Amino acid sequence: MDLYRAFLAIVISFVILIGYQYFFVPVEKPIQPTKTQEQAAVPEQPLSEAVPGQDITGPLPPLSTGEARPDPTARDITVDTPYYKAVIAEQGGGFKSFILKGYQRQKKGDTSPMQLVQTSRPTELPALFFLGNGGGGELLRFHADKTNLSLAADSGKTSLVM
């Protein structure tokens, strides 16, 4: 009897789910661009006639790859705790390095501490604050009040203001 009730509950759930989708969710209609009177009035002409005197078969200008230029005045802020050591970049606010002190890369052989950040490109840093609105390849520049912050297990609270 319990198996029958469980099966009936599953069937009723699917009926409700499909019925809700059918009756209550509006169907999205594709938006078709309409030509305004200004666009319709402009006669189409080949590109070679539109710009006389310029060779359009030449190479195209390079596209922006989203690479940010490094700021030479940006500092690196080091945060050292008993559990990890982090290096934060003032340019963009991303983590340049994050090392876990209690963990090693491998159990045998390479006993270096675990490094979590695997990139050196400024636009790929974790926790990066970047306005991806196409307004140039500039990362925001933060100004930190300290360059080194060291926390011991018994030290109180401290803060880093950027």
Provide the token pair at 65. 């790859």
What is the distance of C-alpha 6 from the center of its chain? 44
pLDDT value at 12 more than 90: yes
pLDDT value at 150 more than 60: yes
What's the CA gap between 42 and 34, in Å, rounded?
Answer: 15
Who's near 99: CB < 8 A, 6+ residues apart?
84, 85, 86, 113, 114, 115, 116
Distances (CA, A) of 36 to 40, 50, 135: 6, 21, 29
Q: What pLDDT is recorded for position 63?
A: 39
Question: Amino acid identity of 141?
Answer: R
Q: What pLDDT is recorded for position 7?
A: 95
pLDDT digits (tens, 9 = 90+) for 41-86: 555 555 545 555 555 555 544 434 455 666 778 888 898 988 889 8
Q: For 11-156, where are the E strands, in sequence order?
A: 76-80, 84-89, 95-104, 113-115, 148-150
Read off the DSSP letter of residue 122.
Answer: G
What's the CA gap between 92 and 142, in Å, rounded?
Answer: 7
pLDDT value at 11 more than 90: yes
pLDDT digits (tens, 9 = 90+) for 108-143: 777 778 888 877 666 666 666 656 655 555 677 777
What's the CA gap between 160 and 162, in Å, rounded?
Answer: 7
Let me know: does 82 contact 100? Beta carbons within 8 Å. Answer: no
Mean pLDDT of 10-16: 96
Who's near 149: CB < 8 A, 6+ residues apart?
77, 78, 79, 80, 158, 160
pLDDT digits (tens, 9 = 90+) for 24-33: 877 777 777 6
Look at residue 88 and give its three-state secondary structure: strand
